[in-house]
Amino acid sequence: MSIPLTYSLMRYLAAKRSVDDRALNWQVWQCLVAALPRTTTEQPLRILEVGAGIGSMVERLLAGDVLTHATYTAIDKAPTLLAEARRHLPQWADQRGFQVDENRQGQLRVWRAGQHITIETEAIDVARFMAREHGRRTWDLLIGQAFLDLVDMPTTLPGLCSLVRPGGLLYFPTTFDGDTVFQPEGDAEFDRTIEACYHQTIDQRVLDGKPSGDSRAGRRLFAYLRTAGVDVLAAGSSDWVVFAGANGYPADEAYFLHDIIHTIYVALTGHPHLDAERLDAWVAQRHTQIEQGALVYMAHQLDVLGRVNRKP
């Protein structure tokens, strides 16, 4: 594909689906499936997903027959992404033999033989949600995919853990962990400078006056979970590896790569340690390599599954 004229988080998240499907750590996934309690219509599994985006994870759980009886609360600060989740899910579910309707509370009900899932969405910042729900509601499973590297973990993680019942589960797939690799190598030293400066922008990101990023969130999660009273049940890498085969990049992954390069460009424009002309040339070369099917991109990430060990 040629270089996009515009970029959107919605298209990026849709393009990310096939990359994630390859990357997710299936040993951690199987531990999650094995650790889920038996559920019934009367006692459904209560799931909370934070930073749910366009609903890729609920679709993945439905497709894998992981959920039988469940209520699924999906929150995200971006209303347009949740609106897309609600638009996409019914047609996706219909194609897979699910029935779908919307009840009077505005929840989506998705069912087929042996499976009955009720999905509610709410556009809200996670900090506000945690403050509102603390002491009111708890969940059996909390999911945050590609999320913890975007928030201040020391303040956010304890709040998230407090929303999970004692013995409940936390699942944090594709948590970024500090390695970004592009091939072919250009000027190896300049590639390393780009990577270091980019990770620095993640670490120094401030949103609404709060620190909001950690380029080594994956590895740091272990200590934060221990402090929060969570035992790690399983962990493993879920690196993104994106490359073109004989037929080019799969699905919309060329767009995914253009978006990543554009994100780096936006983050590094005006960086005091980077020569602007060299950055422009680097970005232009990487976009050209995508058009040629020559760019290989890797990002190191971790999937972590934990269980809250505090007493009820």
Ligand X SMILES: C[S@@+](CC[C@H](N)C(=O)[O-])C[C@H]1O[C@@H](n2cnc3c(N)ncnc32)[C@H](O)[C@@H]1O
Instruction: Tell me how far, at minimum, the Cβ of 119 lies from ligand X, in Å.
Output: 15
Angle at 184 between CA 179 and CA 189, to 5 degrees: 60
User: Which three-class secondary structure state does DSSP give residue 282?
Assistant: helix
Burial string for 281-296 (b: 16+ CB within 10 Å, else e) reads ebbeebbebbeeeebe
Please report whether residue 78 would count as binding ligand X according to CB under 6 A: yes
Please report whether residue 25 would count as binding ligand X according to CB under 6 A: no
Instruction: Tell me how far, at minimum, the Cβ of 127 lies from ligand X, in Å.
Output: 6
Q: Is the CB of 37 or the CB of 79 nearer to ligand X? A: 79
Q: Is the CB of 146 or the CB of 242 nearer to ligand X? A: 146
Please report whether residue 16 would count as binding ligand X according to CB under 6 A: yes
Handedness of CA 196, 12, 92, 47 (dihedral sign): positive
Dihedral angle of Cα 269, 275, 281, 283, to the nearest 10 degrees = -30
Tokens 């499907």, residue located: 21
Please report whether residue 301 would count as binding ligand X according to CB under 6 A: no
Name the token pair of 185.
């190598």
Instruction: Tell me how far, at minimum, the Cβ of 112 lies from ligand X, in Å.
Output: 24
Q: Is the CB of 125 or the CB of 291 nearer to ligand X? A: 125
Strand 210-211 vs strand 230-237: parallel, antiparallel, or unpaired?
Answer: unpaired
Strand-pair partners of 224: none
Residue 301 identity? Q
Please report whether residue 238 would count as binding ligand X according to CB under 6 A: no
Q: Are 213 and 204 within 8 A, CB to CB?
A: yes
Q: Are 70 and 120 within 8 A, CB to CB?
A: no
User: What mask of x and - would describe binding to ligand X in positions 128 to 147, judged by CB under 6 A?
Assistant: -----------------xxx
Please report whether residue 81 would count as binding ligand X according to CB under 6 A: yes
Instruction: Tell me how far, at minimum, the Cβ of 73 lies from ligand X, in Å.
Output: 13
Please report whether residue 256 would count as binding ligand X according to CB under 6 A: no
Instruction: Tell me how far, at minimum, the Cβ of 125 lies from ligand X, in Å.
Output: 4
Please report whether residue 213 would count as binding ligand X according to CB under 6 A: no
Interacting residues toward ligand X by CB under 6 A = 13, 16, 51-53, 56, 76-78, 81, 125-126, 145-147, 150-151
